[in-house]
């Protein structure tokens, strides 16, 4: 069968997988075995599913796949503690995923779309425009990949990297992923249903069993998405890309602001915190001369506190400059002054230290250059596939 006609098993929850397995003339309990292989053991190939008969494995190989994206390359940064995967979709659009390992925790930054329609002027993914929505299986595939590669990191990390990043030794590298953040390419709330299904697939206690609180979804501020999430029984964390407290400046940076201006956005977020009692994070990328002076810090504190304080945290991210935007990051002093001012107003704020800068894997830098990546992949695809896509 043509690869792109195959059924992606990662798109199927257990009931759907059971239906499919029955349609293949197999007893229902085979579905449970297959499900365990996919989600509990994260087995990357049918050949390794030794509890399934050879005949059934051949059938699976012929008609289905474990994730429909092809792993093109894996880049290694921060002494081996950061890995960036580049995947190709069936139509050859590329998607990036970044795994970052810290002492005792490991976070994967997951993409929800190929390209992005939101058009933020400082973001590399925006330059690609919108390419396509990822399916639930394609979103989940990135997390399964990260879990597999995480297991290999203790055997493939630089001592200097460990020291630099404050690990006592390799035993500080966790065996299990601890966080999945939807902060890769794309706008998760612009692909809400597929994104949300991927969370269900990964959350299933009989499967990958990833806790709801270990997910964080980040949005440009699509209010309908925030409203849906506040009625969701799962305790998924919410992050809002705010980046400016002045409508004129924000609309200039983020076209979405013309549709959902700051006051409406903050109202929706306040309602979310009242309903869910969960703390919200605001992301604020600091751009030299654009949104980083004292006046902007004051406006930000005013806007956040206007209707009364709610549980919040501000993450300050010095811009990762993207070519041809003319924008540069704020100076260290500016960043510190901005943080200190928010703290003074009683707003908890943290300056985020960036991972993956050396491999174009830092915030806002994800923009698979198809031609470049495909060229780089020639000759390495076979070998890299061994890592398990």
**Residue 173, burial from CB neighbour count under 10 angstroms (0-12, 13-18, 19+):** buried
Q: How far is the CB of 115 from ligand SAH (least distance, A)?
A: 11
Active site residue 65: no
Find out whether 137 and 10 touch, Cβ atoms under 8 Å: yes
Q: How far is the CB of 112 from ligand SAH (least distance, A)?
A: 8
Helix (H) / strand (E) element for 85: namely strand 82-88
Helix (H) / strand (E) element for 280: namely strand 280-286
Active site residue 363: yes
Q: How far is the CB of 330 from ligand SAH (least distance, A)?
A: 11
Give the separation between CA 36 and CA 48, rounded to whole angstroms: 13
Residues that bind ligand SAH (CB under 6 A): 118, 120, 122-123, 183, 187, 218-220, 241, 283, 285, 317, 319-320, 322, 363-364
Give CA angle at 381 (113, 78), nearest 5°: 70
Task: Please provide the size of the chain in residues.
Answer: 389
Which member of 96, 187, 296, 384 is catalytic?
Answer: 96
Give the separation between CA 389 and CA 143, rounded to whole angstroms: 10
Give the separation between CA 89 and CA 91, rounded to whole angstroms: 5
| Residue with Cβ nearer ligand SAH (173 or 280) | 280
| Residue with Cβ nearer ligand SAH (206 or 264) | 264
| Residue with Cβ nearer ligand SAH (13 or 358) | 358
Cα 204 to the center of its chain, rounded Å:
19
Q: How far is the CB of 13 from ligand SAH (least distance, A)?
A: 25
Find out whether 122 and 320 touch, Cβ atoms under 8 Å: no
| Residue with Cβ nearer ligand SAH (186 or 388) | 186
> Quick one: which of 94, 185, 65, 78 has its CA closest to 377?
94
Give the separation between CA 53 and CA 61, rounded to whole angstroms: 12
Q: By Cβ distance, which residue is nearest to ligand SAH?
A: 364
**Residue 137, burial from CB neighbour count under 10 angstroms (0-12, 13-18, 19+):** buried
Handedness of CA 263, 183, 93, 195 (dihedral sign): negative
287 forms bridges with which residues in the sheet?
Answer: 329
Which member of 123, 363, 373, 384 is catalytic?
Answer: 363
| Residue with Cβ nearer ligand SAH (207 or 356) | 356
Q: How far is the CB of 8 from ligand SAH (least distance, A)?
A: 23
| Residue with Cβ nearer ligand SAH (135 or 320) | 320
Q: How far is the CB of 294 from ligand SAH (least distance, A)?
A: 21
Give the separation between CA 60 and CA 54, rounded to whole angstroms: 10
Give the active site residues: 96, 363
């Amino acid at each position: 069968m043509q690869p792109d006609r195959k059924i992606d098993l990662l798109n199927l929850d257990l009931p759907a997988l059971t239906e499919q397995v029955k349609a293949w003339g197999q007893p229902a309990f085979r579905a449970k075995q297959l499900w365990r292989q996919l989600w509990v053991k994260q087995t990357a190939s049918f050949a390794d599913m030794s509890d399934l008969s050879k005949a059934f494995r051949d059938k699976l190989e012929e008609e289905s796949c474990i994730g429909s994206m092809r792993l093109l390359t894996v880049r290694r940064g921060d002494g081996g503690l950061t890995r960036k995967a580049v995947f190709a979709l069936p139509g050859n659009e590329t998607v990036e995923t970044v795994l970052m390992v810290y002492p005792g925790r490991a976070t994967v930054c997951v993409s929800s779309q190929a390209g992005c329609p939101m058009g933020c002027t400082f973001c590399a993914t925006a330059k690609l425009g919108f390419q396509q929505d990822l399916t639930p299986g394609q979103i989940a595939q990135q997390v399964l990949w990260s879990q597999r590669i995480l297991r290999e990191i203790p055997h493939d990390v630089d001592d200097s990297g460990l020291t630099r990043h404050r690990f006592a030794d390799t035993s500080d590298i966790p065996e299990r992923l601890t966080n999945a953040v939807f902060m890769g390419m794309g706008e998760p709330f612009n692909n809400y249903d597929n994104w949300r299904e991927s969370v269900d697939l990964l959350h299933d206690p009989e499967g990958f069993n990833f806790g709801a609180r270990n997910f964080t979804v980040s949005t440009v501020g699509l209010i309908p998405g925030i409203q849906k999430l506040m009625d969701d029984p799962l305790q998924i964390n919410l992050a809002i890309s705010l980046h400016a407290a002045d409508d004129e400046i924000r609309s200039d940076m983020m076209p979405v602001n013309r549709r959902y201006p700051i006051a409406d956005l903050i109202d929706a977020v306040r309602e979310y915190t009242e309903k869910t009692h969960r703390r919200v994070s605001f992301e604020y990328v600091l751009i030299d001369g654009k949104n980083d002076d004292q006046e902007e810090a004051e406006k930000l504190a005013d806007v956040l506190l206007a209707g009364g304080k709610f549980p919040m945290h501000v993450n300050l991210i010095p811009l990762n400059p993207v070519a041809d935007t003319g924008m540069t990051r704020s100076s260290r002093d500016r960043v510190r002054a901005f943080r200190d001012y928010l703290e003074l107003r009683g707003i908890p704020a943290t300056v985020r230290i960036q991972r993956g800068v050396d491999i174009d894997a830092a915030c806002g830098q994800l923009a698979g250059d198809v031609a470049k990546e495909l060229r780089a992949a020639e000759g390495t695809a076979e070998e890299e596939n061994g890592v398990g896509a």
